[in-house]
Chain A
Amino acid sequence: DIQMTQSPSTLSTSVGDRVTITCRASQSISSWLAWYQQKPGKAPKLLIYKASSLESGVPSRFSGSGSGTEFTLTISSLQPDDFATYFCQQYKSFPYSFGQGTKLEIK
């Protein structure tokens, strides 16, 4: 099974900050990685697929990069609506697996 490890688990940030979240896979997943945003009491929302492709309707301040085992999600200038929890997910093989999540908190 492929294990996904995100860091950090929590990040205290401010509006306007540049934020980077890292996701590591226990083995190569090529570019079969997605990023989701989840707000309290809501379903996850797709942000990025295939490691770096921006889902339609998602603001361009979100970007993804990486391949193989190391991936990053970057928010170029944090907005108030971006305070949420972010998950990475590999879909290269079953069982699909998620990172444990990164919660963005207001500093």
Chain B
Amino acid sequence: EVQLVESGGGLVQPGGSLRLSCAASGFTLSSYAMSWVRQAPGKGLEWVSAISGSGGGAYYADSVKGRFTISRDSSKNTLYLQMNSLTAEDTAVYYCAKDSLIRFGGYFDCWGQGTLVTVSS
């Protein structure tokens, strides 16, 4: 069974950092592109970042470019999102999502349960 389990969320002060993890099972992470999508409380979905399964690079939303870094560890079959210089606007549930393709340009056919990040003093 294909499954994604996020962890690493929590309460962090403005300007702080946090690293989210997404453990994959039932498939090989490096065989698919992966994304992070977030949802602020009571709001819609916002795509944050994507990484190619083929090592072909990464993309970021303008709202996080220069502050967030997406990466993966193939040996652990785990996706990461390093988040720096956090602001209140980054408060959201963060989902990892599996792309249907190894390269970019597919839809999200599997989602994790989400992990809540709260940025507050």
Hey, which bits of chain A sit against chain B, CB under 8 A?
Answer: 32, 34, 36, 42-46, 49-50, 55, 87, 89, 91-92, 94-101
Hey, which bits of chain B sit against chain A, CB under 8 A?
Answer: 35, 44-47, 50, 59, 61-62, 95, 100, 104-114
Among B106, B112, B113, contact of A91 (Cβ-Cβ < 8 Å): B106
Known contacts A44-B95, A87-B45, A89-B45; A94/B111 CB under 8 A: no
Report the Cα distance A44→B44, complex, angstroms: 11
CB pair B106–A98 under 8 Å, yes or no, is no
Among A49, A94, A95, A97, contact of B107 (Cβ-Cβ < 8 Å): A49
Report the Cα distance A16→B111, complex, angstroms: 29
Q: Report the nearest B residue to A50, measured CB to CB.
A: B107
Residues in B with CB closer than 8 Å to A94 are 50, 59, 104
Known contacts A44-B111, A96-B35; A87/B44 CB under 8 A: yes
Residues in A with CB closer than 8 Å to B108 are 34, 36, 44, 46, 89
CB pair A99–B44 under 8 Å, yes or no, is yes
Report the Cα distance A101→B42, complex, angstroms: 11
Given A43-B95, A98-B44, output 17 extra A-B contacts at Cβ < 8 Å.
A32-B105, A42-B113, A44-B108, A45-B111, A49-B100, A49-B107, A49-B109, A50-B107, A87-B44, A89-B108, A91-B105, A95-B61, A95-B62, A96-B35, A97-B47, A98-B46, A101-B45
Residues in B with CB closer than 8 Å to A32 are 105
Report the Cα distance A29→B121, complex, angstroms: 42
